[in-house]
């Protein structure tokens, strides 16, 4: 069944647009409630659902709207407040909730927002589940009816939702990952993207004894991800160099990503983080199923490094929920994406930027080696990438200029490289990737793809 509204990570778009608005959020909430109740085998029996949000100014209104729909569908919604996305999954398990909801657009600009769902096991719904939710959407008139009371509630900024401590379970877990005082004498530069981790990550790191130099830690509802966070690591790199920090840590707006800087301010992406974690675990014979799960976006150098250490790499589609699906199928407990989603499924079943950072710190503590040395385990194949914002996501196989160029490049590169062309699941962008034996080859290949894409699609 085809999905219209859900992408790789929930429903997302500009706030106030045709999808991300109070009326649609209410409709989506009611549909999700009916879906969750049917899956739980308890139709008509009120059950708890937990709602978290990031720091976007539009989050409160969308929280109230989706709660109205959830309540209309027979659930009992409660608010977690501003929390990282992995904290929602943790709270669902602790509170034995039937459903978790996160209001966020992750790394997108402040003008966007979105809605993610977690089931009672702390897992995101699969494609079939999301398609079924879409099939249960009530009509637009129902959305207007459900959202009608939000303006009056907004006048006092105090909705009727009961509140639950959304951080207790999450903090209990993250505070257990290192020994007490493990980071005494450490200096950590931390960029929380003016988002959901502004309170949690500094608190946990300082609790282990670290001196934390924070940036991107003054959310105002409008500045989430604005020149800071995992998408913009330049300021973090500069802060590391200025302060002499042993490590720099950057999250995205909802805290499910981690990008690092070594002690020299050089940036490590998700592939480098995952590789050093996998190699460390393989060295200690503790990598479950000897397997690391990455996506089709990850560099081929990851495969080479893990194979050389006696492990194997499995690949999934792009999106951390596809990663966890592959992990569960293969018995792996470590997986993630080049974008910085890192999943330890024995800790959480979604990407968690703080857990990823703590696990890297654990490796540094155990080995006594700086991050600049640990990262050397990955020798990346030359890779070139770009993104084009397009007017419409037309089927790629129906665009001969582009599909023909892709096929030609694949023939030329053979086993020494690869080509990946796909639409973003969260934005109206076409993503291009070329890997090959030399930097010149991939640069030329990317230029050819770019030209073909511009001929085939309307780029805006």
Distance separating alpha carbons of residues 104 and 31, to the nearest angstrom: 19
pLDDT band of residue 152 (cuts 50, 70, 90) is low
pLDDT(157) > 50: no
pLDDT band of residue 111 (cuts 50, 70, 90) is very high
pLDDT(305) > 90: yes
Q: Write the pLDDT tens digit of every residue in 369-427.
A: 999 999 999 999 999 999 999 999 999 989 998 999 999 999 999 988 999 999 987 78
Percent of the chain past pLDDT 70, that is, above it, reads 96
pLDDT(8) > 90: no
User: Average pLDDT for residues 321-341, to the nearest whole number?
Assistant: 97
How far, rounded to the nearest angstrom, does the alpha carbon of residue 74 sit from its chain's CA centroid?
29
Q: How many C-beta atoms surround the C-beta of residue 459 within 10 A?
A: 14
Say what angle helices 22-40 and 127-135 make with each other, to 10 degrees: 120
Q: Which residues are catalytic?
A: 106
Q: What is the mean pLDDT of the chain?
A: 94
Q: Are strands 187-191 and 211-215 parallel, antiparallel or unpaired?
A: parallel
pLDDT at 44: 43
Q: Write the pLDDT tens digit of every residue in 69-96.
A: 999 999 999 999 999 999 999 999 999 9
pLDDT(202) > 80: yes
Binding site, residues?
106, 252, 254, 256
3-state DSSP percent of the chain in helix, strand and coil, to 5:
40, 20, 40
DSSP codes of every residue in 60-109: HHHHHHHHHHHHHTT-EEEEEEE--HHHHHHHHHHHT-SEEEEE--TTS-
pLDDT(154) > 80: no
pLDDT at 45: 43
User: Average pLDDT for residues 142-149, to the nearest whole number?
Assistant: 89
Q: Which residue has the higher pLDDT, 297 or 46?
A: 297
pLDDT at 156: 45
Distance separating alpha carbons of residues 115 and 59, to the nearest angstrom: 10
What 3 state SS string does 1-70 have? CCCCCEECCEEEEECCCCCCCHHHHHHHHHHHHHHHHHHHCCCCCCCEEEEEECCCCCHHHHHHHHHHHH
pLDDT at 46: 59
pTM of the predicted protein model:
0.91
Domains of the chain: 11-167 (3.40.120.10), 177-266 (3.40.120.10), 269-371 (3.40.120.10), 383-456 (3.30.310.50)
User: Average pLDDT for residues 324-341, to the nearest whole number?
Assistant: 98
Q: CA of 187: how far to CAs of 152, 171, 197, 230, in Å?
A: 47, 21, 18, 19
CB 378 within 8 A of CB 301: yes
User: Average pLDDT for residues 242-261, to the nearest whole number?
Assistant: 98
Binding site for Mg(2+), residues?
106, 252, 254, 256
Place of tokens 């990823």: 356
């Amino acid at each position: 069944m085809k999905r219209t509204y859900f992408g790789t990570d929930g429903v997302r778009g500009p706030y106030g647009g045709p999808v991300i608005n109070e009326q649609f959020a209410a409709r989506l909430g009611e549909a999700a409630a009916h879906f969750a109740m049917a899956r739980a085998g308890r139709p008509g029996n009120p059950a708890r659902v937990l709602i978290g949000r990031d720091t976007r100014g539009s989050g409160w209104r969308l929280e109230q709207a989706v709660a109205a729909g959830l309540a209309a569908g027979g659930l009992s919604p409660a608010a977690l407040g501003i929390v990282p996305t992995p904290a929602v999954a943790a709270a669902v398990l602790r509170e034995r909730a039937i459903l978790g909801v996160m209001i966020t657009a992750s790394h997108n600009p402040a003008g966007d927002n979105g809605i993610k769902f977690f089931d009672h096991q702390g897992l995101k719904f699969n494609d079939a589940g999301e398609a079924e939710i879409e099939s249960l959407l009530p009509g637009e008139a129902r959305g207007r009816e459900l959202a009608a009371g939000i303006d009056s509630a907004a006048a006092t900024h105090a909705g009727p939702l009961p509140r639950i401590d959304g951080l207790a379970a999450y903090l209990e877990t993250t505070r257990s990952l290192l020994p007490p005082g493990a980071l005494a004498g450490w200096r950590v530069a931390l960029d929380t993207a003016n988002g959901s981790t502004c309170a949690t990550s500094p608190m946990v790191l300082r609790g282990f004894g670290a001196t934390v130099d924070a940036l991107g830690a003054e959310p105002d509802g409008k500045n989430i991800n604005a020149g800071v966070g995992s998408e913009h690591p330049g300021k973090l790199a500069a802060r590391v160099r200025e302060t002499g920090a042993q490590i720099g840590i950057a999250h995205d707006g909802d805290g499910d990503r981690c990008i690092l800087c070594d002690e020299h301010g050089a940036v490590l992406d998700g592939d480098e983080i995952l590789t050093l974690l996998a190699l460390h675990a393989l060295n200690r014979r503790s990598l479950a199923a000897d397997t690391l799960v990455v996506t089709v976006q990850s560099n081929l150098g990851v495969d080479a490094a893990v194979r050389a250490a006696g492990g194997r790499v499995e690949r999934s589609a792009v999106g951390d929920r596809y990663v966890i699906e592959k992990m569960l199928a293969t018995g792996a407990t470590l997986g993630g994406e080049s974008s910085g989603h890192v999943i330890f499924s024995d800790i959480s079943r979604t990407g968690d930027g703080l857990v990823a950072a703590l696990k890297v710190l654990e490796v540094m503590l155990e080995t006594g080696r700086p991050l600049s040395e640990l990262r050397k385990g990955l020798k990346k194949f030359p890779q070139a990438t770009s993104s084009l914002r397009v007017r419409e996501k037309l089927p790629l196989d129906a665009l001969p200029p582009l599909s023909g160029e892709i096929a030609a490049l694949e023939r030329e590169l053979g086993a020494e490289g690869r080509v990946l062309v796909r639409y973003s699941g969260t934005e109206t962008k076409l993503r291009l990737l070329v890997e090959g034996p030399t930097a010149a080859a991939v640069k030329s290949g990317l230029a050819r793809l770019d030209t073909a894409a511009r001929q085939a699609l309307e780029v805006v």
